[in-house]
């Protein structure tokens, strides 16, 4: 056989990343949650929060939540690679059926389906906790976030122009929502 036709040993196709296991977060997950959140802050397109968080701040955030506002984590190989939470939208009683959403995936685990898994679970939890809808605010410059929400059938409510200031420049923020049909 001419050497040009010699077969090279078949290379194993790269394994697709395995699905993450999603579960309720506990106090032991807080350091990982904090590290992932701080990556989101440093990215500058995920949130209008721009001070990275300390452990004490995250502990307060976690401890002050009632059971109606869960935090969940996605884990792979025993490591937390993403988290999501339902947050109070307003203290006014009439908004009792509305939850605000946060979702963050570790930088090296993005684009592998973790966000989609977290969204599916947090929406199930929102239904179980009798929320009627989920709302969120995303920077218009966040294509990954917007695609994830569109994929989960969130609709655009509208754009707040020059709503926040990051690194000295005004940024636009889009409000999105999803009415939760009975599961």
User: What is the closest distance, in whole angstroms, from the C-beta atom of residue 94 to ligand COA in the complex?
Assistant: 25
**Can you tell me the distance from the alpha carbon of 144 to that of 142, in angstroms, rounded to the nearest whole number?**
6
Beta carbon nearer to ligand COA, 96 or 141 = 141
Hey, how many other C-beta atoms are within 10 angstroms of the C-beta on 154?
A: 24
Do residues 176 and 133 lie in contact, with contact meaning Cβ atoms separated by under 8 Å?
no
How are beta strands 98-105 and 133-139 bridged, if at all?
Answer: parallel
Question: Taking CB under 6 A as the rule, does residue 116 contact ligand COA?
Answer: yes
Beta carbon nearer to ligand COA, 151 or 165 = 151
Q: What does the radius of gyration of the chain's CA atoms come to, in whole angstroms?
A: 19
Question: Taking CB under 6 A as the rule, does residue 115 contact ligand COA?
Answer: yes
How are the residues of the chain apportioned to helix, strand and coil, as percentages rounded to the nearest 5? 30, 30, 35
Question: Taking CB under 6 A as the rule, does residue 171 contact ligand COA?
Answer: no
User: What is the closest distance, in whole angstroms, from the C-beta atom of residue 154 to ligand COA in the complex?
Assistant: 11
Site string for ligand COA, 46-75 (x = CB under 6 A): x-----------------------------
**Can you tell me the distance from the alpha carbon of 129 to that of 152, in angstroms, rounded to the nearest whole number?**
19
Site string for ligand COA, 121-140 (x = CB under 6 A): -----------------x--
Which strand (E) or helix (H) includes residue 170?
strand 169-179
Among 32, 40, 71, 83, binds ligand COA (CB under 6 A): 40
Interface positions with ligand COA (CB under 6 A): 40, 43, 46, 103-105, 110-116, 138, 142-145, 147-148, 151
């Amino acid at each position: 056989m001419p050497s040009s036709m010699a077969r090279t040993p078949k290379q194993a196709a790269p394994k697709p990343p395995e699905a993450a296991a999603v579960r309720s977060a506990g106090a032991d997950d807080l350091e990982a949650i904090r590290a992932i959140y701080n990556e989101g802050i440093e990215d500058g397109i995920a949130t209008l929060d721009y001070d990275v968080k300390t452990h004490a701040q995250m502990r307060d955030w976690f401890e002050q939540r009632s059971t109606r506002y869960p935090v969940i984590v996605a884990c792979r190989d025993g490591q937390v690679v993403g988290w999501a939470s339902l947050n109070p939208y307003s203290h006014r009683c009439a908004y009792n059926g509305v939850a605000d959403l946060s979702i963050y995936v570790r930088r090296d685990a993005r684009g592998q389906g973790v966000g989609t898994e977290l969204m599916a679970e947090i929406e199930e939890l929102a239904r179980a906790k009798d929320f009627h809808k989920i709302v969120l605010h995303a920077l218009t410059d966040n294509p990954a976030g917007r695609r994830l929400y569109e994929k989960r059938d969130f609709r655009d409510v509208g754009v707040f122009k020059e709503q926040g200031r990051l690194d000295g420049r005004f940024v636009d923020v889009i409000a999105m929502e999803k009415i939760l049909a009975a599961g």
